[in-house]
Amino acid sequence: MSQLEDQLGPEGQPAEIPFQQDRPIGEPARMGPAGRLVGTLMSPGETFQDINRKPTIIAPIIIAMVTAIGLSLFLNWQAKPDWKQIARTVITKQSERLGTKPPEDQLEKQIDISAKIDQFLPLIYAVFTPIVFVVASGALALGMLLLQAKTTFKRILSVFAWVNCSVGLVNAIVAGASLMVRDPQSLRSQDYFNPWGIAPTNLSYILADDASQVLRTLFSFFDVFSIWKLLLLIMGLAAIAGTKKITTAKTGTLVIALWLLILIISLGFAALGFGAQQ
């Protein structure tokens, strides 16, 4: 059979030549930002598979930033915090715990600086939200690397960002509702940097007012929204791992280990007298 006959089919038509490509063509995303925002909460399995096909980063980071800024502005409007009095209470209690009392003029300078910084909370949230996302995702990426996952940093960051922006949005709504039903006068002097937050969503709310800072910090980590985020992260990391060898049991070990590390560090700061005050 001649070379020409080899290239033609039985009826003189060109024979099909198998198509080859150096790398597979990526599948397009099936969900838009709104779909992923809702889907992360309502149908996480399907949503994480979509993130695995086409990870996105900008949209969830913007949503998280807008949510944080919006809650901060609403807090300023609804509660009208006395930032100077809040700073005075925090600094005074920290000084008492550390056994160091600065001179009055130095104390006033610290209070003024702290109060001025507090007024720029919306800007601080805007700057630090993407930084926190990248750093936290980097820690998760290192852990996934040790687990020999076949994924990318972009996928890990995308999962982390969508989990945090979606759960964070619900958290902000609950916190805003809590602000609206509480006594405005009592909100003016509350420490809004405390780890147990504004709404009663964690175990620290069952403690007595004179409970130790360490115990209150420990209980605050058992928060409804924090646990929700952990569970979604465990599912999301397993979905984008790129291999069936990495199950939710392995990603759960990774996520909980990092959570415990943050808890231990926070307890250490609380024991030293740093952090939020009651």
Characterize 44-57 residue by residue with b for buried, 16 or more Cβ atoms within 10 angstroms of its Cβ, and e for exposed.
beebbebbbeebbb
Residue 66 lies inside a defined structural domain of this protein: yes
Residue type, 139: A
Which pLDDT score, from 0 to 100, does residue 178 have? 83
Q: Indicate the number of domains in the chain.
A: 1
Residue 273 pLDDT more than 90?
A: no
| Token representation of residue 184 | 């405005």
Residues 6+ apart with CB under 8 A from 93: 273, 277
Residue with tokens 């985020």, as numbered in its chain = 229
Residue 26 lies inside a defined structural domain of this protein: no
pLDDT digits over 45-91, tens only?
A: 999 999 999 999 999 999 999 998 888 888 778 777 767 777 777 77
Residue 107 pLDDT more than 80?
A: no
Which domain, by its residues, includes 165? 43-271
pTM to 2 decimal places: 0.80
Residue with tokens 């926070």, as numbered in its chain = 266
Which pLDDT score, from 0 to 100, does residue 21 have? 35
Residue 37 pLDDT more than 90?
A: yes
223 pairs with which residues across the strands?
Answer: 202
Residue 266 lies inside a defined structural domain of this protein: yes
Residue 67 lies inside a defined structural domain of this protein: yes
Residue 162 lies inside a defined structural domain of this protein: yes
Residue 20 lies inside a defined structural domain of this protein: no
With 0-12 / 13-18 / 19 or more C-beta atoms within 10 angstroms meaning exposed / middle / buried, residue 149 is buried
Residue 24 lies inside a defined structural domain of this protein: no
Which pLDDT score, from 0 to 100, does residue 108 have? 73
Residue 258 lies inside a defined structural domain of this protein: yes
From the CB of residue 191, how many other CB atoms can be counted at a distance below 10 Å? Answer: 17
pLDDT digits over 222-256, tens only?
A: 999 999 999 999 999 999 999 999 999 999 999 99
CA distances from 136 to 26, 76, 99, 116, 157 (A): 26, 28, 34, 28, 8
